[in-house]
Chains A and B, each alone.
Chain A
Amino acid sequence: MGGLLPAAVLIADALSGQLGANPIQRATLQTGLLTLALLVLSLACTPLRLLTGWTWPARIRKALGLLAFAYGVLHFLIYLLDHSFDLTLMTEDVLKRPFITAGFTALLLLVPLALTSTPRAVKRLGFQRWTRLHQLAYVAVSLGALHYYWGVKKDHTQPLIYAAVIAALFAVRLLRRSPARRAASARTR
């Protein structure tokens, strides 16, 4: 619920003309950044729990992921609005411009994750398969960062910060996993 605050502010800004001279461009940028930031936050939950022993990150992970998806959809809708909902133009953009292809693919990858976010879906898929499916989030966040990187005209500092954080989060996971694997293979020997 708290995560909807930026959307409320965005709408208030739009209505009061605070989005500046090019409100659609600004709204696109803001929703895009929110999507990426929330995705990164959702991926930070597990490492944070592992490193600190806190349990609350795990509890808000799903909410963060769903919020990220919601802002991603909003970002996409604003993009469509910007192109007067012309689906031919959109298709052309998706097919021709790697920058758009990356962003669109990232959003598509999030769809099955959002659809299987309920406890029932976990049960139906089985925990193992559900977990593997939700590893798509790693691909989606990487594509999202690439989309941001390509979208910036110059100064890539911010996209690179996101990329670095994502890389660090991946590294924590890999480092955590390899001792476990070593232990596992030692046991089978």
Chain B
Amino acid sequence: MSDHPTPPDHADPDSGERRILTPGTPNPRREFLRSAALFTATAGALGGGLELLTRRPGGPGSAEAQVAAFTRPARPLGPYDTSEAVTPYAQATSYNNFYEFGLDKSDPARMAASLKTRPWTVRIDGEVRKPMTVDIDTLQGWFPLEDRVYRMRCVEGWSMVMPWLGFPLAALIRRMEPTSKAKYVQFTALLDPKQFPGQRQPVLKWPYVEGLRLDEALHPLAFMAVGLDGRVLPGQNGAPLRLAVPWKYGFKSIKSVVRITLTEKQPQTTWALAAPQEYGFYANVNPAVPHPRWSQATERRIGELGRRKTLPFNGYAEQVAGLYKGMDLRRFF
């Protein structure tokens, strides 16, 4: 095709032909060549310009994307594991929403090297008998690490299956010894624009804050992950410590946690502050409550072309529906 955005040298006449032309006289051949060159130039400019405009650099780590689907080595499935096919590691680590790194889904993987996860401390405070600041390695050494294969449903309408490695949040909370006033758990992510270039833009109110009701946090499904696919958690997936609450939309599962505070009042969470009509505090996966701009009835599992039906509480209704008895989940979305 002649509309390739390279200098239009092939539209130039070859020197033999050029010698025949007498300068000054209108020549149909020269006219033709002139317009051909013009055509190629505009086509190149237009095509190239639009291409630059609409194509985001990055994408999946192209080398990694070629790696065959990674499956976890066989092990007995626990009571909360899904047996659905695990999302290939390359995709689970290259398609991420992590606005601290940037808005595009390819930004986190590209920028994650700027995040330094050691040394890393976690502050535990609020309505607890033992407030403390603890090193991440000490903290994760308190608990035997478990595998959990969880579905993850993003509020944007896509989903993955994530093989987390970590420990139940309940174990950590019990160790903190909540006082009788503790009703909620507030999580705070790292605030450091040097490591999180996305925080230089006031896209969201930084630092990112999320929260759970105490009974939700004590549910055995609520999980703190420090690893993925048997490896140390990559930066783009929320290293070194992140929450995984699989019955809620993905944005509830805060990444790169530096502080866990037990509170009496419901925390003001980042997305609920940013767009309260779109993202509520509870954010339970609910196919019956559409997002204002799209239906939540279906989702695309990453790696599949079609859509599948979204299940109430992301398929964990049997385990967690009881937490919301008597609540109007259309109001408390």
Contacts and interface: CB of A to CB of B under 8 A. Distances in A.
Contacts of B290: 96-97
B180 interface: no
Interface stretch (A132-140, A151-159, A165-173): A151-159
Given A2-B42, A6-B50, A25-B158, A20 B5 contact: no
Please classify the interface of chain A as helix (H, G, I), strand (E, B), loop, or mixed, using the class held by over half of its residues.
helix
A5 B3 contact: yes
A3 interface: yes
B95 A38 contact: no
Size class of the A contact interface (CB-based, 8 Å):
35 or more
A14 to B, nearest CB: 11
A33 B43 contact: no
18 contacts: A2-B42, A2-B45, A2-B46, A5-B3, A5-B47, A5-B48, A19-B59, A22-B302, A24-B305, A33-B53, A33-B54, A37-B53, A92-B295, A97-B292, A99-B294, A150-B293, A154-B203, A154-B275
Contacts of B106: 20
Contacts of B50: 3, 5-6, 34, 37-38
A100 B60 CA distance: 28
Contacts of A15: none
Nearest to B41: A2
Contacts of A3: 43, 46-47, 50
Nearest to B66: A17
B39 A153 contact: no
Given A2-B39, A5-B43, A97-B293, A37 B303 contact: no
A21 interface: yes
Contacts of A22: 95, 105, 158, 300, 302
B88 to A, nearest CB: 9
B39 A154 contact: no
A92 B42 CA distance: 41
User: Which one of A2, A60, A96, A97 has the greatest number of beta carbons of chain B within 10 Å?
Assistant: A2
A143 to B, nearest CB: 15
Contacts of B125: none
B295 A93 contact: yes
A180 interface: no
Interface string A30-49: 10011001100000000000
A33 B52 CA distance: 11
B55 A20 contact: no
Interface of B: 1, 3-5, 39-40, 42-48, 50-51, 53-55, 59-60, 62, 65, 91, 94-95, 99, 103, 105-106, 156, 158, 201, 203-204, 274-275, 290, 292-295, 300, 302-303, 305-307
B63 to A, nearest CB: 12
A179 to B, nearest CB: 32
B60 A20 contact: yes
Contacts of A89: 295
A18 B60 CA distance: 7
A1 interface: yes
Given A2-B43, A84-B307, A155-B103, A18 B204 contact: no
Contacts of B103: 154-155
B294 A97 contact: yes
Contact of A153 (B3, B47, B53, B156): B156
A82 B95 CA distance: 19
A84 B295 CA distance: 14
Interface in A93-131: 93, 96-97, 99-100
Contact of B51 (A6, A29, A92): A6
A93 B291 CA distance: 11
Contacts of A5: 3-5, 43, 46-48, 50-51
A9 interface: yes
A96 B53 CA distance: 31
Contacts of B305: 24
B300 A24 contact: yes
Contacts of A93: 294-295
A61 B305 CA distance: 37
B99 A21 contact: no
B43 A84 contact: no
